[in-house]
Amino acid sequence: MHQLNIDTLRMEAKRQLAQLKSLLEKAQQKGLVDEPAADDHNRATFDTQSITKVLEVLDGENYKLDHLDMVLAVVGTMKAGKSTSINAIVGAEVLPNRNRPMTTLPTLIRHTPGVLQPRLIFEKVQPINELLATLSQAIKLVNQEVLLELQNDEDMKELLIQIRQQTFFVSQHEGAEDIFRFLKGLNDLVRLCFTLNVEFPFDAYAIVEAMPVIEVEFSHLKDTPVTQGRLTLLDTPGPNEAGQQHLRHMLKDQLKKASAVLAVLDYTQLKSDADEQVRESLMEISYTAKDRMYALVNKFDQKDRNGDDGAAVKKYIAQTLMKNAMAESSVFPVSSKQGYLASRARNELERNGKLPNNECWVEDFGKERFGGMWVDFINDPQMVKAGADKLWQDSGFSVPLEQVIFEAHRNAAMEALRSAASKLDNLAKDTGNFFKANVGSLKKSVAELQKNIDRLQQDIENIAKIEASTEEALEGILQSTQIKIETASAGIQKEVTEKIESYFKEGKTAESDNHQKKEQRKGLSNPKEKTTQSDGFFGTALASFLGSKREIKDSTLDFDPSSPIIKFDDRAAAQDFIKRIESSIKTLMDKAESDCNSCIQSGIDNFSIEFDGHRINALESIKESIKRNLDDFDIIVHLPNTESIKIDSPVTSLMKSAIMEKTRTVTKHRRQDGLWGTICGWFDTSDWGWESYQGSEEYYEVDINKINTSSRKGIETLFISAHSILNKDIVPQLQHGVEEFFSAFREKVENVRGDLISGVKKHSLDQARKAEILATSSEMAIEAAALEKDCITLNDSAETLRYKESPSSTRLEVQV
């Protein structure tokens, strides 16, 4: 079959851009384009001001088609080997990898042919240099103990000297060592900020332009023609890293734009506690980068005889962890370390014919490949070459590398194409309408024109009405969603209370039994205690349960059925009790969270349906009316893209991060506690009503009131989070979507009206000039109409191709 190929579409896009550009320039030269109207609402489709912008857009799209910008984002869990993977792709150590978190700021690594010695450019040093001054003040206030500890840390010592001397960071760093030192310094700086409780200026780095960029030739791409585009890798801080919250939006944005996403997971940590967390972050990424996502399961060299083999790993990730949101064929067990060592050795051999003498990576390489006898082989280039090739093979890195880069190239080309095609489609339609309006206006009398202008004004006002009613609908849905959340919240609170109540009863029964045993052991006859009216929180409930009244205290170990304190004299029993409450509460919390999620999600869904309805029906009718109102103009006002409104993250992950934000202070301390840490975080407390006392008699107290309060607070946090994402995240996005759509639509109609208004002005020109303008406009209207068709075809083809499975573009040459 005649399959269209992306290169042809790209050339066609370039042709259309050139055609449209020349058409618009001609219109300008022939004096068809007026000065901008004084009133913004009367502006024509093109005026001398807006046409310049349009021409710039066309040039920009053309540039992007010529210079494909491929961004390969590398994401992954902490210490999974993101930086090592990047080093493997580059074939040199451009990023430090150590056994502690190293990447603090997202960093770009850009393939720059011919640059063998990597160089780092970090324009925006001012904020961190200002930070040096702040830190030097903060250090003076810190206590001696902390300072001593800092000074014992070799890396910190260096930084402390830098701060004392106020040696500024510079913007350019040449060579791996210098780059390494700089990035390490940056890392230390962030760590120090945390220790000293000084804000690191993350916000200053929350835009891509502010990221550090390392330029270097990637050994695997050195023979790739420049026309294939420019590959940039993006190293990201681990998801738990400090500052992640600040940079979250930018990172998300970057993932959205990335040509491919490489998720690096740690084979040795696969089934650990962090499992759920990994899954969630992968899910979130796959939400934005569905078909562009690959997973490297790194450190596969650590696999022992009993470990999962490659096939099992692929299956586990794709099916179990990702619940089929990812294909098995996109999962690759690799050893980035081996990949890096092999690729660096090969690179080195190619450049210098031998490996350098005293660099530690050579030893790593030698040992990895030749074991203890490595020294015997390392100076034999042939052995080294063969060894490196074998290691590269063993690393399993070449297949994913080839595929990911290939995919990135394809996607970048596709992205550039789609962007150009959709802009062309829109602009060509505008252009067509512009000329048609020009022709039409000159053929009509001023009076007729004025009538059309007035009718269009009616349509513009109608659009405003529809917009208002859409906003009303949004408001209504927001309110009902809020009510649903409230109801869910009250329901859960009730359940929690009941749950705790029943635990309280259970605890008290145990305590009472215990107490009795003890009393008996003590030989004290204390039958049928008199009890009084309870005033404790659960007193009433308990009283009816135990069928007894409040006891009159007469000993330190008195049993008080109404007291919120439950006493245990066995640590294990107390702990077990707490554990069970925890787990019940956790179940309820999960339920609450999922309730919130579904309330919000259904709110969004309802709104989408509502919105689509509004748009399609009402706006189609406006479109119709415009068509009727514009006598013989043959102008079709096209609706802005009718894609449904979409939230930029799944609700579940929005919810997760909102909760995390609310409880950040707590989680910071409790991070090590794993799953429970998070739950405690929700309770927003570190004191969960649990204490032990050591005295003459060892006993353990569980304060049910505190547990109740904390649990309530936890649930509250959850629902506050729900309201907050609804109000701060979701509604603004929906509102924005509505606004954007309507203002784009209104502007289109206003522009057509503006075209007619400037048509009225043209009537005051002399006959000869009018005839000339009419002739040119007619001719150009025909050309524009033809181009319009081609643009639609291209746009459709680009979209079709995007969904085709087998890429037909020429394969990118990657030396692997």
Beta-carbon neighbour count of residue 609 at 10 Å? 12
Any contact of residue 8 with other proteins (CB under 8 A)? yes
| Shortest distance in whole angstroms from residue 684 CB to ligand GTP | 28
Torsion angles phi and psi, residue 567, rounded to 5: -105, 140
**Is the Cβ of residue 23 or residue 95 nearer to ligand GTP in the bound state?**
95
In 3D space, the residue among 24, 23, 31 whose CA is nearest the CA of residue 772 turns out to be 31
Order the strands of the 172-174 sheet from edge to edge: 172-174, 119-121, 213-216, 107-111, 230-235, 69-76, 260-266, 293-298, 331-333
Q: Compute the least distance from the CB of residue 48 to ligand GTP, in Å.
A: 51
Question: Within a 10 A sphere around the Cβ of 596, how many other Cβ atoms?
Answer: 28
CA distance 644 to 194: 43
The Cα 755–Cα 749 span in angstroms is 10
**What 8-state DSSP symbol labels residue 552?**
P
% helix / strand / coil in the chain, to the nearest 5? 65, 5, 25
Q: Does the protein bind other proteins through residue 803 (CB under 8 A)?
A: no
Q: Which of residues 138, 793, 802, 816 is near other proteins by CB under 8 A?
A: 793
Q: Segment contacting ligand GTP (CB under 6 A): 38-46, 76-84, 136-144, 498-506? A: 76-84
In terms of Cβ atoms closer than 10 Å to its own Cβ (0-12, 13-18, 19+), residue 356 is exposed
Picked from Mg ion, other proteins, ligand GTP, none, the partner binding residue 560 (CB below 5 to 8 A depending on kind) is none
Residue 87 contacts Mg ion per CB under 5 A: no
3-state secondary structure 632-686: CCCCCCCCCCCCCCCCCCCHHHHHHHHHHHHCHHHHHHHHHHCHHHHHHHHHCCC
How many Cα atoms within 13 Å fall on the side-chain side of residue 484? Answer: 18
How many other C-beta atoms lie within 10 A of the C-beta of residue 493? Answer: 17
Q: Closer CB to ligand GTP, residue 138 or residue 816?
A: 816
Which of 280/684 has CB closer to ligand GTP?
Answer: 280
User: What does DSSP assign to residue 72?
Assistant: E
Which among Mg ion, ligand GTP, other proteins, none contacts residue 2 (Cβ within 5 to 8 A by kind)?
other proteins
3-state secondary structure of 166: coil
Residue 302 engages ligand GTP in binding (rule: CB under 6 A): yes
| Residue 298 binds ligand GTP, judged by CB under 6 A | yes
Terminal CA-CA length for the chain = 32
x-marked contacts with other proteins along 12-31 as a string, rule CB under 8 A:
x--xx-xx------------
- Residue 640 CB contacts under 8 Å (≥ 6 apart), including other chains: 740, 741, 744, 745, 748
Cβ proximity to other proteins, 177 vs 799, nearer residue: 799
Among 19, 103, 335, 708, binds Mg ion (CB under 5 A): 103
Going 14 to 20 to 26 to 28, the CA torsion angle's sign is negative
- Residue 778 binds other proteins, judged by CB under 8 A: yes
Using CB under 8 A, which of the segments 9-17, 146-154, 354-362, 539-547 binds other proteins?
9-17
Considering CB distances under 5 to 8 angstroms, the limit depending on partner class, which of Mg ion, other proteins, ligand GTP, none binds residue 778?
Answer: other proteins
Residues 337-366 touching ligand GTP, rule: CB under 6 A, are: 337
In the complex with other proteins, the residue whose CB is nearer, 21 or 385, is 21
Provide, rounded to whole angstroms, the least separation between the CB of residue 299 and Mg ion.
14
Output 103 or 657, the one with its CB closest to Mg ion.
Answer: 103
Rounded to 5 degrees, φ, ψ at 454 are -65, -40
CB of 652 to ligand GTP, least distance (A): 24
Number of residues that bind other proteins (CB under 8 A): 21
Using the rule CB under 6 A, which residue among 47, 301, 430, 582 binds ligand GTP? 301
Of the two residues 102 and 635, which places its CB atom closer to ligand GTP in the complex? 102
Residue selected from 102, 318, 463, 578 as contacting Mg ion according to rule CB under 5 A: 102
Cα three-residue angle 808-814-815, rounded to 5 degrees: 145
Among 789, 799, 804, 813, binds other proteins (CB under 8 A): 789
How far apart are the C-alpha atoms of 732 and 316, rounded to whole Å?
38
**CA dist., res. 374 & res. 395, Å (int):** 18
Cβ 337 to ligand GTP shortest distance, Å: 3
Q: Which stretch binds other proteins (CB under 8 A): 108-116, 649-657, 728-736, 778-786?
A: 778-786
- Listed in sequence order, the residues at least 6 apart from 612 whose beta carbon sits closer than 8 Å to its beta carbon are 642, 644
Binding to ligand GTP, residues 238-277 (CB under 6 A): 238
Give the Å distances, CA to CA, from 415 to 403, 404, 736. 18, 16, 24
Among 25, 727, 782, 808, binds other proteins (CB under 8 A): 782
Nearest approach in angstroms of CB 233 to Mg ion is 12
Residue 160 vs 439, nearer CB to other proteins: 439
Is 80 a binding residue for ligand GTP by CB under 6 A? The answer is yes
* 83 binds Mg ion per the rule CB under 5 A: yes
**Spatial separation of the C-alpha atoms in residues 802 and 291, rounded to whole Å:** 11
Indicate the residue among 302 and 815 with the shorter CB distance to ligand GTP.
302
Interface with ligand GTP, residue 336, by CB under 6 A: yes
Q: Which of 607, 790, 812, 814 binds other proteins (CB under 8 A)?
A: 790
CB 731 → other proteins: shortest distance, Å?
Answer: 41
Q: Which residues ranging from 87 to 146 are in contact with ligand GTP (CB under 6 A)?
A: 97, 99, 101-103
Which listed range, 295-303, 318-326, 426-434, 785-793, lies at the site for other proteins (CB under 8 A)? 785-793
Q: At its nearest, how many Å lie between other proteins and the CB of residue 8?
A: 5
From the list 260, 231, 258, the residue with the least C-alpha distance to 110 is: 231
Backbone angles phi, psi at 298, to 5 degrees: -85, 165
Give the closest residue to 715 by CA, choosing from 507, 499, 524: 499
Whichever of 103 and 711 has its CB closer to Mg ion, that residue is 103
Distance CA 280, CA 294 (A): 15
d(CA 689, CA 702): 6
Closest to Mg ion by CB, 235 or 703: 235
Residue list 184-243, contact with ligand GTP (CB under 6 A):
238
Read off the tokens for 324.
């089929």
Cα–Cα dist 499/707, whole Å: 11
State the binding partner of 337 from ligand GTP, other proteins, Mg ion, none, CB within 5 to 8 A by kind. Answer: ligand GTP
Among 261, 391, 794, 812, binds other proteins (CB under 8 A): 794
State the number of CA atoms in the 13 A half-sphere of 787 facing the CB.
30
Nearer to ligand GTP, 92 or 715 (CB): 92
Q: Which does 796 bind (CB under 5 to 8 A by kind): Mg ion, ligand GTP, other proteins, none?
A: other proteins
3-state class of 299 per DSSP? coil
Could you give the string, one character per residue 678-717, with x where binding to other proteins holds by CB under 8 A and - elsewhere?
A: ----------------------------------------
The contact set with Mg ion (CB under 5 A) reads: 82-83, 102-103
The contact set with ligand GTP (CB under 6 A) reads: 76, 78-84, 97, 99, 101-103, 238, 298-299, 301-302, 335-337
The contact set with other proteins (CB under 8 A) reads: 2, 4-5, 8-9, 11-12, 15-16, 18-19, 778, 782-783, 786, 789-790, 793-794, 796-797
